[in-house]
Chains A and B, each alone.
Chain A
Amino acid sequence: MGTLLKDFWYIFRNNIRDYGMYIALAGIFIFFTLMTGGLFVSSRNIFNLIQQTGFIAVGSVGMTLIIVIRHIDLSVGSIAGVVGAMAAVLIVSYGVPAAVALPSVLIFGALAGLLTGYLVAKVGIPAFVASLGGMFVYRGLIFNFLQSTGTLGINDPIIEAIGRGTIPSLATVFGMQLSSLIIGILAIGWLIYSELSNRQKKIAYNFEVLPKNLMIVKLVFMSIIIAVITYVLGSYRGISWVLVIVGIVLFAYHFMTTKTILGRHIFAVGGNPEASELSGISVEKITYFVFSSMGFLSALSGIMYLARLQSATFTAGEGLELQVIAGAFVGGTSAAGGIGKVTGSVIGALVMASLINGMQMLSLGSNIQNIISGVVLVLAVIFDVKTRNMKKTEKKS
């Protein structure tokens, strides 16, 4: 057992940057749970927390890549707003089915992002300015679409489902939603399978793997977490479509960034654009891709926001870009480029949303909420910078 602890400590120390955010999240959860007498981790509140975080988390995923390639996108909130307005007008005023309207506005978002990318990569103006221009233009367009009414209520089953719905329950077993239960069990199965198959492959190559007992500890620990989440969600309304959307986006982007050539090229461009160009990577194409992915995710975020409110408003998405940027930075994305993780950014967004949610439960005023959020944002980045330097000295030795 002594060596197990030692191994654990060694791995923990060397990966403290990766774990720091999870520890912070756990800390926030424990703190608010104690302060609210357990209300914070009630099924109902966790469900709400997910609904509140979803549209920000999706944006943070896209923003991670933008920051990784050393740019910024300030038009996220305005694109989200205009996309919501467009979708509402299409569905309500023109009677277009949501199944057609939503893909159309997602494409609009991607094209809007592509335009920013064009201004940055081809015309060569700073992303800050290009996207700031976009921010004003799209905000203006919202007024065009919504005209004098100001808000446009929407009543559509698909929008309703995205905003408030959950996946079908199938049946209730021991007071839990069957579908959530099945997904939870599948997730644990997949976790164990992928860990073991990965291990087999590494052993086949004669590479270093985690000590066996440590792997078991890791699997048990993660299985318990999934089981708890499954229990918490399953015993209330189950898994919401918001969670499904965030899950799909996160999985796709995590896969893309860690496993594909495209992902590797994005991070190389962020790490050193000149070297990447000479390595045969088109910095221009990567910039186009990353910005249009941001536009696409902004649009998705806009749809989720529209669905949440069930109406389009002038102010939809205002300030969203800053929440999204905060999520990415809290999640460990480096402003110097080349470093960041989409999983981290989603956790970062969740950290920020949990703070707000918890403080609201404690009935703290907006003033306190904003001050605490600001302090946590800066603390998170300080932690990130400090642990990075620590790693540097360690490696030099």
Chain B
Amino acid sequence: MPPYPYGGNHMSTSTLLKMNHITKTFPGVKALDDVSFSVEAGSIHFIVGENGAGKSTLMKVLSGIHAYGSYEGDIEFDGEVRAFHRIDDSEKAGLVIINQELALIPEMTVYENIFLAHEVSTNGVIDWNETIHRSSEELKRVQLNINPGLKVKDLNVGQQQLVEIAKALSKKVKLLILDEPTAALNENDSERLLNLLVELKAQGITCIMISHKLKETIIADRVTVMRDGKTISTLEKDDIDEARIIKDMVGRSINDIYPKRPPYEAGDVVLEVKGLTAFNHRTDKTVAKNVGFQLHRGEVLGLAGLMGAGRSEIALSIFGNPKKYSMELEMTMMGEHVQFKHPSEAIKKGLFYVSEDRKAEGLVLKKDVKENVTLSNLHKISNRFVIDKNAEIRSAKEYVDHMNVKTPSLEQLVYYLSGGNQQKVAISKALFVGPKILILDEPTRGIDVGAKYEIYTLINQLIEEGMSIIMISSELPELLAMSDRLLVVAEGEIKKELHKDEFSPETVMTYATS
């Protein structure tokens, strides 16, 4: 872990924000139960907790997304009791929230985005020169060295995140709220962001950060743990300790974050990829260059690398090429030469890919749990081409029970499930086709500690049953713990193959950035 600069001791004694006895009820559910919470000026305050603990609801109450009057309790900000009815009320007071789904408009330029809805103007006429000038200033403050005239869609996620922060700074922000800002970032960009927050703190900007990555609490001045709509504990800087936080988060102690791996012995080769080269016309980029590897029976093969290194692209190229790259590939599966023209052919042969983006690419959110589970293999529950709905309910139930999906019923729309349970449905769907090889792309992204543990356990179980798994993850510790072998990918190439005894974060990062 590289040392983070702490930017001097700026802990001031004045309190910037006090939320007193906040209770927020949704029909039938108490999302926040008498929560009191305060933030010191000039500090970085983390809020952690499992999904559904109430973190985001608390921030929505704070920023006026849940309007004043829709909750009980009161909010004191910057010395005054506030009644925010809309998000622009809170922004006027100097409180800016940056959500996980970025609020940028891809087709607009960086400077247009930064001053969107608070344009530099006189009588409604925009002063573009001043806009561009000020945008450059804000970009400098977030240490993003790009031309403000670029369109946002041409930036990577890390840069977009920084543009969001620049936008917040341009609004004269006093309290910056970040909801899982690093969830979609790779290690490098995450580190850069954390350093920036420390930098901004030195400039007097207070920050509330929601995160699932506990090691990031190293920059925190305070950590508040939430569970079941209540604050469980608030730890001061010197008391911050991951084990303690996890214990408070889940209400029990998890000795080990990763379940024990069964000892691995290399089985037969089940998949061999040779000479994979793929070109994406849409982005005009070569996404895979002469990639070749083998996968063994009962093995977890990890694909490590930075965001955009080409890991998902390699997986998709193997899985029937749904993104329509131009490509060359020689592939053998179970000793048989195969050439998949569409994912359906790959699925028939026993290869399944679980997407990194379960909402956009993994699930049909508007459909219910059972229809999602059975979608990829309707023949299994059909009489020729007619679906037997009773058989569907029965087999979907089997998988949902086995995966421990927490849902009120099989008819619940997947939309309403939590991230962890959605992921379990996505994996159930994959298992429903009875695959021999499973590609899991970021299987634990954005889900809580408990659900992660369940997914790790499942992976071990599948391996023991003789399945082979290719796992892609941007969380290096997870990848190191779960893989039997690692391929480090950078710029669409496999830079290095690592065996278990060679695993270390430093080695992986060295090759990933080469």
Query: Of A207, A260, A268, which is within 8 A of B364 by CB?
Result: A268
Query: Of B26, B29, B361, B413, which is within 8 A of A278 by CB?
Result: B361
Residue A6, interface by CB 8 Å: no
Query: Of B319, B360, B382, B387, which is within 8 A of A275 by CB?
Result: B360
Query: A104 → chain B, closest Cβ, in Å?
Result: 27
Cβ contacts under 8 Å, B348 to chain A: 280
Residue A13, interface by CB 8 Å: no
Q: Tell me if A395 and B364 are in contact (CB < 8 A).
A: no
A 124-153 to B, binary, CB cutoff 8 A, 1 in contact else 0 = 000000000000000000000000000000
CA–CA, A397 and B393, complex, Å: 23
A 277-300 to B, binary, CB cutoff 8 A, 1 in contact else 0 = 111111000000000000000000
CA–CA, A397 and B408, complex, Å: 11
CA–CA, A142 and B141, complex, Å: 66
B 381-399 to A, binary, CB cutoff 8 A, 1 in contact else 0 = 0100111011001100000
Q: 17 additional contacts, CB 8 Å, given A260-B386, A277-B322, A282-B344?
A: A205-B393, A259-B386, A260-B382, A260-B387, A261-B385, A264-B371, A264-B378, A268-B364, A272-B360, A272-B364, A275-B355, A275-B361, A277-B343, A280-B320, A280-B342, A280-B343, A339-B366
B 345-383 to A, binary, CB cutoff 8 A, 1 in contact else 0 = 011100001010000111111110001000110110010
Q: Tell me if A394 and B27 are in contact (CB < 8 A).
A: yes
Residue A32, interface by CB 8 Å: no
Query: B352 → chain A, closest Cβ, in Å?
Result: 9
Cβ contacts under 8 Å, B429 to chain A: 279
Identify 22 residue pairs between A and B in the complex whose beta-carbon atoms are under 8 Å apart, listed by A's number: A205-B393, A205-B394, A259-B386, A260-B382, A260-B386, A261-B386, A264-B387, A265-B378, A268-B371, A272-B364, A272-B366, A275-B355, A275-B363, A277-B343, A278-B355, A280-B320, A280-B344, A280-B433, A281-B344, A396-B27, A397-B27, A397-B29
Cβ contacts under 8 Å, A280 to chain B: 320, 342-344, 346-348, 376, 433
Residue B4, interface by CB 8 Å: no
B residues contacting A by CB (< 8 A) are 26-29, 319-320, 322, 342-344, 346-348, 353, 355, 360-367, 371, 375-376, 378-379, 382, 385-387, 389-390, 393-394, 412-413, 416, 429, 433
Given the contacts A205-B394, A395-B413, A338 and B367 also touching, CB distance less than 8 Å: yes
Query: Of B362, B364, B412, which is within 8 A of A271 by CB?
Result: B364
Cβ contacts under 8 Å, A276 to chain B: 364, 375
Query: B498 → chain A, closest Cβ, in Å?
Result: 29
A residues contacting B by CB (< 8 A) are 201-202, 204-205, 207, 259-262, 264-265, 267-268, 271-272, 274-282, 338-339, 393-397
Given the contacts A280-B344, A282-B342, A397 and B375 also touching, CB distance less than 8 Å: no
B382 — nearest CB in chain A belongs to which residue? A261
CA–CA, A129 and B284, complex, Å: 27
Q: Which 6 A-B pairs have the closest CB atoms?
A: A397-B28, A280-B344, A271-B364, A397-B27, A280-B347, A274-B361
CA–CA, A175 and B429, complex, Å: 59
Q: Tell me if B365 and A272 are in contact (CB < 8 A).
A: yes
CA–CA, A267 and B372, complex, Å: 11
Query: A391 → chain B, closest Cβ, in Å?
Result: 9
A263 — nearest CB in chain B belongs to which residue? B387
Q: Tell me if A207 and B393 are in contact (CB < 8 A).
A: yes
Q: Tell me if A271 and B360 are in contact (CB < 8 A).
A: no
Query: A35 → chain B, closest Cβ, in Å?
Result: 40
CA–CA, A279 and B358, complex, Å: 12
Given the contacts A268-B367, A393-B27, A395-B416, A278 and B385 also touching, CB distance less than 8 Å: no
Q: Tell me if B364 and A205 are in contact (CB < 8 A).
A: no
Cβ contacts under 8 Å, B394 to chain A: 205
Cβ contacts under 8 Å, B413 to chain A: 395
* Most B C-beta atoms less than 10 A away, residue of A267, A275, A393: A275
Given the contacts A278-B361, A280-B344, A396-B26, A260 and B367 also touching, CB distance less than 8 Å: no
B323 — nearest CB in chain A belongs to which residue? A277
Cβ contacts under 8 Å, A265 to chain B: 378
Q: Tell me if A338 and B364 are in contact (CB < 8 A).
A: yes
CA–CA, A282 and B348, complex, Å: 14
Q: Tell me if B379 and A267 are in contact (CB < 8 A).
A: no
Cβ contacts under 8 Å, B26 to chain A: 396-397
* Most A C-beta atoms less than 10 A away, residue of B348, B385, B433: B385
Query: B142 → chain A, closest Cβ, in Å?
Result: 32
CA–CA, A274 and B365, complex, Å: 12
Cβ contacts under 8 Å, B365 to chain A: 271-272
CA–CA, A277 and B389, complex, Å: 23
Cβ contacts under 8 Å, A262 to chain B: 385
Q: Tell me if A202 and B390 are in contact (CB < 8 A).
A: yes
Q: Tell me if A279 and B343 are in contact (CB < 8 A).
A: yes
CA–CA, A281 and B344, complex, Å: 6
Query: A174 → chain B, closest Cβ, in Å?
Result: 40
Cβ contacts under 8 Å, A202 to chain B: 390
Given the contacts A205-B390, A282-B344, A397-B28, A260 and B385 also touching, CB distance less than 8 Å: yes
CA–CA, A204 and B393, complex, Å: 13
CA–CA, A281 and B376, complex, Å: 8
CA–CA, A271 and B364, complex, Å: 6
Cβ contacts under 8 Å, A393 to chain B: 27
* Most A C-beta atoms less than 10 A away, residue of B347, B382, B387, B412: B387
CA–CA, A278 and B316, complex, Å: 9
Cβ contacts under 8 Å, A268 to chain B: 364, 367, 371, 375
CA–CA, A132 and B362, complex, Å: 33
Cβ contacts under 8 Å, A272 to chain B: 360-361, 363-366
B375 — nearest CB in chain A belongs to which residue? A279
A260 — nearest CB in chain B belongs to which residue? B385
Given the contacts A274-B360, A395-B416, A279 and B385 also touching, CB distance less than 8 Å: no
A267 — nearest CB in chain B belongs to which residue? B367
CA–CA, A279 and B320, complex, Å: 11
Cβ contacts under 8 Å, A261 to chain B: 378-379, 382, 385-387
